[in-house]
Chains A and B, each alone.
Chain A
């Protein structure tokens, strides 16, 4: 029997899922409720300057870019497997399209935070 090389992909998928489940609701609350309600009262939360400054700190920026990366990875993995469940003969091309776009997204995010330094 051939050993599967899926585990690293699956671990990143799991990490992304966990992060999305943990941060998703907090982000929705923050961007959907806290920020606009605060803005209505004239208080600026997560303002452009403050956020930019925060992201320009290398550790924060890179961590955030990587978090975004694993969430993208989670999506790529799920989409790839769902296509296979739906009967698509998902070969190398589809594999690269899914995981490749997650990898590119991650690199773009890292590039973006580096550009802030």
Chain B
């Protein structure tokens, strides 16, 4: 049997408690055609260096936990193959724009806080109790928001967004796409609540339509579209505020 092909991985290492800054470490990994980059990292952990730290769970682009920068692009490590980077060296680093907890593991608390501000849950348009039974909707009504509901919170879009990098206050692509997912749900009545986020500096107006978020999204969510669908409505509300100044001042207060 011939020797298996080998690929060099340069992995970003960083232990904030010990290291003054991130550094690169090289590993040579034997690979086969069907091995993902995640499997390469797992090979390193199992056979070469047990201290390498990274997140993963599903291994099939479902859980959203294995996001990292691969040769500078935000990717799910389980969604790209080593063969496409052979013979390397391919650089694997923690997702851009997030603090590093250790090696490839980022701290995503900022995103979780933002997710809470966008009311990304169904706020029923009419009072309902469990006795009313299933809250049904037609397949056509579901199609309106279905794409936005595919988000797996992998945060590749945040790593892709230059505006999030410069202005960490910006609610960011996934949170605003999830906001739109509920706004487009015909069973939902929470629009007014979400308008505050949409109309804010940190809301849709923080987006400059770079569009890279939609390009890197592994689930075809198209957050750039979700955000920009809201600009016309937000602008209309702004003009309406000129018309009825009391209303706008009220919204400014918070």
* Residues of A participating in the B interface, judged by any CB pair closer than 8 Å: 1-8, 10-11, 81-82, 84-87
* Residues of B participating in the A interface, judged by any CB pair closer than 8 Å: 117, 162-163, 166, 196-197, 199-203, 205-206, 208-210, 231, 234-235, 238-239, 248, 251-252, 254
Q: How far is B160's CA from A85's CA once the two chains are assembled, in angstroms?
A: 11
Q: How far is B238's CA from A81's CA once the two chains are assembled, in angstroms?
A: 21
Task: Collect the chain A residues with CB atoms within 8 Å of residue B235's CB.
Answer: 7-8, 10-11
Sample of 11 A–B contacts (CB below 8 Å): A2-B252, A3-B199, A4-B206, A6-B201, A10-B205, A10-B235, A82-B208, A84-B163, A84-B166, A85-B163, A85-B210
Task: Collect the chain A residues with CB atoms within 8 Å of residue B203's CB.
Answer: 1, 4
In the complex the two chains form, is B163's CB within 8 Å of A3's CB?
Answer: no
Task: Collect the chain B residues with CB atoms within 8 Å of residue A6's CB.
Answer: 201, 205
A3 in contact with B208 given A84-B166, A87-B162 (CB within 8 Å): no
Task: Collect the chain A residues with CB atoms within 8 Å of residue B201's CB.
Answer: 1-4, 6
Task: Collect the chain B residues with CB atoms within 8 Å of residue A85's CB.
Answer: 162-163, 208, 210
Question: Shortest beta-carbon distance, B186 to chain A, in Å?
Answer: 27
Please, which residue of chain A has its CB at the minimum distance from the CB of B171?
A1
Q: How far is B251's CA from A72's CA once the two chains are assembled, in angstroms?
A: 31
Q: How far is B251's CA from A4's CA once the two chains are assembled, in angstroms?
A: 11
Q: How far is B46's CA from A105's CA once the two chains are assembled, in angstroms?
A: 65
Task: Collect the chain A residues with CB atoms within 8 Å of residue B248's CB.
Answer: 3
Q: How far is B251's CA from A84's CA once the two chains are assembled, in angstroms?
A: 27
In the complex the two chains form, is A2's CB within 8 Å of B234's CB?
Answer: no
Question: Shortest beta-carbon distance, A102 to chain B, in Å?
Answer: 17
Find the residue from B205, B206, B209 having the highest chain A CB count within 10 A: B205
